[in-house]
A and B are shown apart, each in its own frame.
Chain A
Amino acid sequence: MLGLDKKDATLLIVVAVLTLCAPFILNPFPTDSAMAQFNAGYPDLMQRFIIFGIFAIGYNILFGLTGYLSFGHAAFLGVGSYSAVWIFKLFSYNVLPAIGLSVVVAAIFSLFIGFVSLRRSGIYFSILTLAFAQMSFALAYSVLSNPKFNLTNGETGLQVYADDPQWFHRDSLPDLPHLFGLSMRSTYTLDVGAWSFDFNAGYYLCAVIMMVVFYLAIRIFRSPFGMMLRAVKSNQQRMNYTGLNTRPYTLAAFVISGMYAGLAGGLMAAMDPLAGAERMQWTASGEVVLMTILGGTGTLIGPILGAGFIKYFENIFSKINDTVLHEWFALLPDGIEDFMVFIVHPFIGKGWHLTLGLLFMLVVIFLPGGLVEGGQRLSRLLKRRGTKAKPEDSEHRPEEKPHVAE
Chain B
Amino acid sequence: MDALLLQILNGLDKGSAYALIALGLTLIFGTLGVVNFAHGALFMIGAFCAVTLQRILNLSFETIDETQKDFLGNPLKVKTPYVESWFGPDLGSSIIDWSVPLAILFAIPVMLFVGYAMERGLIKHFYKRPHADQILVTFGLAIVLQEVVKYFFGANPIQTPEPDMLRGSVDLGVAVGFQANAIIYPIWRLVYFFFSVAIIGGIFSFLQFTTFGMVVRAGMADRETVGLLGINIDRRFTIMFGVAASVAGLAGVMYGPLNPPNYHMGMDFLVLSFVVVVVGGMGSLPGAVLAGFLLGILESFASTTWATTTIPGINQIIIYLVAIIILLTRPRGLMGRKGVMED
The CA-CA distance from A132 to B320 in the complex, in Å, is: 7
In the complex, number of A-B residue pairs with CB atoms less than 8 Å apart: 134
Residues of B within 8 A of A124 (CB): 278, 282, 327, 331, 341
Asked whether A120 is an interface residue with its Cβ less than 8 Å from the other chain, the reply is yes
- In the complex, which of the residues B148, B312, B320 has the most CB atoms of chain A within 10 Å of its own CB atom? B320
Ordered by A's residue number, 25 sampled pairs between the chains whose C-beta atoms are within 8 Å are A69-B135, A119-B328, A122-B131, A124-B282, A124-B331, A130-B271, A131-B320, A134-B320, A135-B316, A138-B313, A138-B316, A138-B317, A138-B320, A139-B317, A143-B312, A143-B313, A143-B317, A353-B147, A354-B143, A354-B151, A364-B137, A368-B133, A403-B127, A404-B341, A405-B222
Instruction: Given the known inter-chain contacts A351-B147, A403-B33, A403-B127, please indicate yes or no for A286 contacting B321, CB distance below 8 A.
Output: no
Q: Beyond the given A142-B316, A368-B133, A401-B131, could you list 8 further A-B residue pairs with CB under 8 A, ordered by the A residue number?
A: A124-B327, A135-B317, A138-B320, A357-B142, A357-B143, A360-B143, A361-B122, A364-B133
Instruction: Given the known inter-chain contacts A128-B324, A404-B341, A406-B224, please indicate yes or no for A361 contacting B317, CB distance below 8 A.
Output: no
B311-343 near A? 1/0 per residue, CB < 8 Å: 011001100110110011001000000001101
Query: Chain A's nearest CB lies how many Å from the CB of B187?
Result: 30
- In the complex, which of the residues B31, B147, B219, B267 has the most CB atoms of chain A within 10 Å of its own CB atom? B147
Residues of B within 8 A of A65 (CB): none
Instruction: Given the known inter-chain contacts A139-B316, A142-B316, A404-B341, please indicate yes or no for A353 contacting B143, CB distance below 8 A.
Output: yes
Q: B130, A131: Cβ atoms under 8 Å? A: no
Chain B residues with CB under 8 Å of chain A are 31-33, 35, 122, 125, 127-133, 135-137, 139-144, 146-148, 151, 219-220, 222-224, 267, 271, 274-275, 278, 282, 312-313, 316-317, 320-321, 323-324, 327-328, 331, 340-341, 343
Query: Chain A's nearest CB lies how many Å from the CB of B284?
Result: 14
The CA-CA distance from A7 to B259 in the complex, in Å, is: 57
Residues of B within 8 A of A119 (CB): 327-328, 331
Query: Which chain A residue lies CB-closest to B312?
Result: A143
Residues of B within 8 A of A128 (CB): 323-324, 327
Query: Which chain A residue lies CB-closest to B145?
Result: A357
The CA-CA distance from A143 to B308 in the complex, in Å, is: 10
Q: A403, B223: Cβ atoms under 8 Å? A: yes
A121-161 near B? 1/0 per residue, CB < 8 Å: 11110111011101100110111101000000000000000
Task: Indicate which residue in A130, A399, A405 contacts B219 across the interface (CB closer than 8 Å).
Answer: A405
Residues of A within 8 A of B31 (CB): 405
Query: Which chain B residue lies CB-closest to A402?
Result: B128
Instruction: Given the known inter-chain contacts A116-B324, A142-B313, please indicate yes or no for A126 contacting B148, CB distance below 8 A.
Output: no
Query: Chain A's nearest CB lies how many Å from the CB of B316?
Result: 4
Query: Chain A's nearest CB lies how many Å from the CB of B343?
Result: 6
Asked whether A393 is an interface residue with its Cβ less than 8 Å from the other chain, the reply is no
Residues of A within 8 A of B312 (CB): 143, 146
- In the complex, which of the residues B143, B267, B331 has the most CB atoms of chain A within 10 Å of its own CB atom? B143
The CA-CA distance from A142 to B328 in the complex, in Å, is: 27
Residues of A within 8 A of B343 (CB): 121-122, 237
Query: Chain B's nearest CB lies how many Å from the CB of A342?
Result: 12
Asked whether A375 is an interface residue with its Cβ less than 8 Å from the other chain, the reply is no
Q: B321, A135: Cβ atoms under 8 Å? A: yes
Query: Which chain A residue lies CB-closest to B132?
Result: A69
Residues of B within 8 A of A286 (CB): 139
Instruction: Given the known inter-chain contacts A146-B312, A405-B219, please indicate yes or no for A122 contacting B341, CB distance below 8 A.
Output: yes
Residues of B within 8 A of A123 (CB): 35, 131, 135, 282, 341
Q: B220, A405: Cβ atoms under 8 Å? A: yes
Asked whether A358 is an interface residue with its Cβ less than 8 Å from the other chain, the reply is yes
Residues of A within 8 A of B147 (CB): 351, 353-354, 357
List A9-30 residues whose CB lies under 8 Å from chain B: none
The CA-CA distance from A126 to B140 in the complex, in Å, is: 16
Instruction: Given the known inter-chain contacts A127-B274, A405-B31, please indicate yes or no for A360 contacting B321, CB distance below 8 A.
Output: no
Instruction: Given the known inter-chain contacts A132-B320, A403-B128, please indicate yes or no for A126 contacting B135, CB distance below 8 A.
Output: yes
The CA-CA distance from A361 to B123 in the complex, in Å, is: 12
Residues of A within 8 A of B129 (CB): 368, 398, 401
Query: Chain B's nearest CB lies how many Å from the CB of A75?
Result: 12
List A25-52 residues whose CB lies under 8 Å from chain B: none
A265-277 near B? 1/0 per residue, CB < 8 Å: 0000000000000
Query: Chain A's nearest CB lies how many Å from the CB of B67?
Result: 43
Query: Chain B's nearest CB lies how many Å from the CB of A79?
Result: 16
Residues of B within 8 A of A237 (CB): 343
Q: A405, B223: Cβ atoms under 8 Å? A: yes
Q: 10 closest pairs, A vs B, by CB?
A: A143-B313, A357-B143, A354-B147, A361-B140, A138-B316, A404-B33, A357-B144, A360-B140, A405-B223, A135-B320
Asked whether A346 is an interface residue with its Cβ less than 8 Å from the other chain, the reply is yes
- In the complex, which of the residues B128, B136, B222, B331 has the most CB atoms of chain A within 10 Å of its own CB atom? B136
Asked whether A293 is an interface residue with its Cβ less than 8 Å from the other chain, the reply is yes
Query: Chain A's nearest CB lies how many Å from the CB of B285?
Result: 15
The CA-CA distance from A365 to B278 in the complex, in Å, is: 27
Query: Which chain B residue lies CB-closest to A130?
Result: B271
Task: Indicate which residue in B132, B137, B223 contacts A365 across the interface (CB closer than 8 Å).
Answer: B137
A196-224 near B? 1/0 per residue, CB < 8 Å: 00000000000000000000000000000
Q: B316, A120: Cβ atoms under 8 Å? A: no
Query: Which chain B residue lies CB-closest to A69?
Result: B132
Residues of B within 8 A of A302 (CB): none
Residues of B within 8 A of A403 (CB): 33, 127-128, 223
Residues of B within 8 A of A398 (CB): 129-130, 133
Residues of A within 8 A of B151 (CB): 346, 351, 354
The CA-CA distance from A146 to B311 in the complex, in Å, is: 12
Q: A361, B324: Cβ atoms under 8 Å? A: no
Query: Chain B's nearest CB lies how many Å from the CB of A247?
Result: 14
The CA-CA distance from A204 to B222 in the complex, in Å, is: 59
Q: A401, B130: Cβ atoms under 8 Å? A: yes
Asked whether A356 is an interface residue with its Cβ less than 8 Å from the other chain, the reply is yes
Query: Which chain A residue lies CB-closest to B340?
Result: A404
The CA-CA distance from A130 to B277 in the complex, in Å, is: 14
Instruction: Given the known inter-chain contacts A138-B316, A357-B141, please indicate yes or no for A401 contacting B136, CB distance below 8 A.
Output: no
Q: B136, A405: Cβ atoms under 8 Å? A: no
Query: Which chain A residue lies CB-closest to B278?
Result: A127
Asked whether A260 is an interface residue with its Cβ less than 8 Å from the other chain, the reply is no
The CA-CA distance from A121 to B130 in the complex, in Å, is: 13
Asked whether A289 is an interface residue with its Cβ less than 8 Å from the other chain, the reply is yes
